Amino acid sequence: MTPAELASVVLAAAHAVFEQRGLDRAALPASTVVERPRNPEHGDYASTLALQLSKKVGVPPRELATALADELGRAQGVKSVEIAGPGFLNIRLDAAAAGQLARVIVESGAEYGRSDRLAGEKINLEFVSANPTGPVHIGGVRWAAVGDALSRLLRATGADVGTEYYFNDAGSQIDRFARSLLAAAKGEPAPEDGYGGAYIAEIAAEVQARRPEVSSLDDDAAQEVFRVEGVALMFDEIRSSLRDFGVEFDTYFNEKDLHDRGELDLALNRLREQGHLYESEGATWLRTTDFGDDKDRVLRKSNGEWTYFAADCAYYLDKRERGFERVVIMLGADHHGYIGRMKAMSACFGDDPERNLEILIGQLVNLLRDGAPMRMSKRAGTVITLEDLVEAIGVDASRYALARYSSDSPIDIDIELWTRATRDNPVYYVQYVAARTAGVARNAAEVGLVPGDADAFRPELLDHEKENELLKALAEFPAVVATAAELREPHRVARYLEESVAASYHRFYDNCRVLPLGDEKITDLHRARLWLNNATRTVIANGLYLLGVSAPERM
């Protein structure tokens, strides 16, 4: 029995009690939840339904809990119900009901853990969005791992998600990039405000190979060639490195398109219609202070140039016009000050900033070698890059390490820890269970032990304490996925895989032998345990998929 099925049984019991007592059934909720008690000795699951309904119907909570317990105790699959405190219901399932979960998981396969919790939500999720002036640095890599995992979680809970990478091929940063390429091509040092690192020389050489005529052009014309060709090469490299990291975007959005299509003027007109624009000192301002910003923002300077914030406004409007109800933007730690102005901008368009716009801030990442932070990339020269991280610990460990922690807290990634083939390496600890469950299934097949038909599965045989513990851990997966998606916290999945599933499986494996010993006859208990082993493999694989990490069959 899954937690959702048990919750339905609890609610059905409540309906029966209300009918017997003539209570107003309109007070009953459309659904309820059951949770695992903190202390396993209190039962398999707990419900607070009696406490929730007591005041609504004027019945003391313990009295209502007693009636619910009597009715629930007659339900199929419920072994016992105890009342605790002011009216908590502690529920124990019989072994057959608990064990049936193994069959449900195996038969559901990749679908187990998915739900329609966020069905109907259309979400635009923008992350990474590094300007094409250099390789993706480690801060951007964090958003690549977390953002991609979040997109998987949102889709797994029914949301319609569009992932997006926003890049800028104009502006002062791109000008500095082009001047740096030109300097490298001429054998000169990088401009004082330019970009250094071996990648600049590499790209400059590639541009010269593609466009040999650039060497005969004057500096202004040559700089334009380096700008156009260099940005294209750099962005191709960014896309390629992200693809190798397992991250693809539905849309790569170019800021230049906003200008070329006149979308900045469209946004300006829309904001003017809403009554939030004013002119001062020859510039056009947005009155964001009306919605809590610390100061009003310039959209168009007195010389006619657009500001970056004007492009932000146009880009937000473009997303909303494409039908996205919720715009989620993931930004680095140095962008915390953007939250107020962006929320105010959303309100200026007539939107609800709490519903239509969500901004997530990620904190810094340090890569440690021998206990000390690495500061310089071999290639970039200034920062640690995606390639540096992957070269040091691999794609799986990188993605797991970056998604394992709450994104609003800084993290240190210790190269020695994350390359260690021991249980203290979190990704190894989880992937080892994936490999062990696959190995058990292979070894079982070799000795003629197969799960057999589902109708012949005897779940009541899974009555060992460690089997029950593992079943309860596996039952939590759908709720963990839904909560991680709703709270935008992929790290909940990683911690669940480690602390609940992997830990419980190791204890199960050590105490409940799946394979027959020697000439021992294969029994229904062996088959039942094989179902549970395979169910564990399914949950581990599904959870790792949501993090963009592989579930190996061998290690």
The CB-side HSE value for 431 (13 A sphere, CA atoms) comes to 23
- Output 376 or 367, whichever has higher pLDDT: 367
Average pLDDT in the chain: 92
Three-state secondary-structure class, residue 239: helix
Q: What are phi and psi of 362, to 5 degrees?
A: -105, 140
Q: What are phi and psi of 315, to 5 degrees?
A: -70, -40
Residue 434 is predicted with a pLDDT of 98
152-210 pLDDT per residue, tens: 999 999 999 999 999 887 678 888 999 999 999 999 988 888 888 889 999 999 999 99
- Mean pLDDT in residue range 406-434: 94
pLDDT of 378 above 70:
no
The CA R_g of the chain, rounded to the nearest whole Å, is 29
| 522 Rama sector, left if φ>0, alpha if ψ -120 to 50, beta otherwise | beta
| 536 Rama sector, left if φ>0, alpha if ψ -120 to 50, beta otherwise | alpha
Q: What stretch of H or E contains 285?
A: strand 283-286
In one-letter notation, the amino acid at residue 206 is E
Q: Which strands form 283-286's sheet, in the order they lie side by side?
A: 277-280, 283-286, 297-300
301-360 pLDDT per residue, tens: 999 999 999 999 999 999 999 999 999 999 988 788 889 999 999 999 999 999 999 999
CA dist 299 and 306 (Å) reads: 6
User: 95 CB contacts (<8 Å, ≥6 apart)?
Assistant: 459, 460, 461, 462, 463, 468
User: 166 CB contacts (<8 Å, ≥6 apart)?
Assistant: 126, 129, 253, 255, 315
Structural contact between residues 10 and 69, judged by C-beta atoms closer than 8 angstroms: no
Q: What is the DSSP secondary-structure string of 31-96?
A: ----B--SSGGG-SEEE-HHHHHHHHHT--HHHHHHHHHHHHTTSTTEEEEEEETTTEEEEEE-HH
Question: In terms of DSSP bridges, do strands 251-254 and 160-167 run parallel, antiparallel, or are they unpaired?
Answer: parallel
Torsion of CA 244, 245, 246, 247, to 10 degrees: -110
Confidence category of residue 265, pLDDT binned at 50, 70, 90:
very high
Largest pairwise CA distance in the chain: 94
Question: In terms of DSSP bridges, do strands 122-126 and 326-332 run parallel, antiparallel, or are they unpaired?
Answer: parallel
Between 54-58, 292-296, 328-332, 425-429, the lowest mean confidence (pLDDT) is in 54-58
- Mean pLDDT in residue range 260-282: 95
Q: What stretch of H or E contains 185?
A: helix 172-185
- Output 381 or 466, whichever has higher pLDDT: 466
Structural contact between residues 114 and 152, judged by C-beta atoms closer than 8 angstroms: no
Structural contact between residues 147 and 125, judged by C-beta atoms closer than 8 angstroms: yes
State the CB neighbour count (10 A cutoff) for residue 14: 26
194-253 pLDDT per residue, tens: 888 889 999 999 999 999 999 899 999 999 999 999 999 999 999 999 999 999 999 999
- Mean pLDDT in residue range 297-303: 95
CA dist 149 and 490 (Å) reads: 6
81-129 pLDDT per residue, tens: 989 888 888 898 888 888 999 999 999 999 999 999 999 999 999 999 8
Report the share of the chain in percent with pLDDT over 90: 69
pLDDT of 379 above 70:
no
The CB-side HSE value for 226 (13 A sphere, CA atoms) comes to 30
Structural contact between residues 191 and 180, judged by C-beta atoms closer than 8 angstroms: yes
- Mean pLDDT in residue range 375-383: 66
Residue 230 is predicted with a pLDDT of 94
Structural contact between residues 286 and 277, judged by C-beta atoms closer than 8 angstroms: yes
Between 11-15, 157-161, 199-203, 431-435, the lowest mean confidence (pLDDT) is in 11-15
Q: What's the count of helices (H) and strands (E) in the chain, helices before strands?
A: 22, 14
CA dist 112 and 543 (Å) reads: 10
pLDDT of 478 above 80:
yes
Structural contact between residues 41 and 52, judged by C-beta atoms closer than 8 angstroms: no
Confidence category of residue 525, pLDDT binned at 50, 70, 90:
very high
CA dist 231 and 167 (Å) reads: 10
Nearest Cα to 49, choosing from 100, 10, 103? 10
pLDDT of 491 above 90:
yes
Residue 305 is predicted with a pLDDT of 92
CA dist 204 and 184 (Å) reads: 6
Nearest Cα to 138, choosing from 416, 368, 328, 360? 368
Report the share of the chain in percent with pLDDT over 70: 99
CA dist 285 and 293 (Å) reads: 13
Distance of CA 442 to the CA centre of its chain: 32
pLDDT of 148 above 70:
yes
Confidence category of residue 474, pLDDT binned at 50, 70, 90:
very high
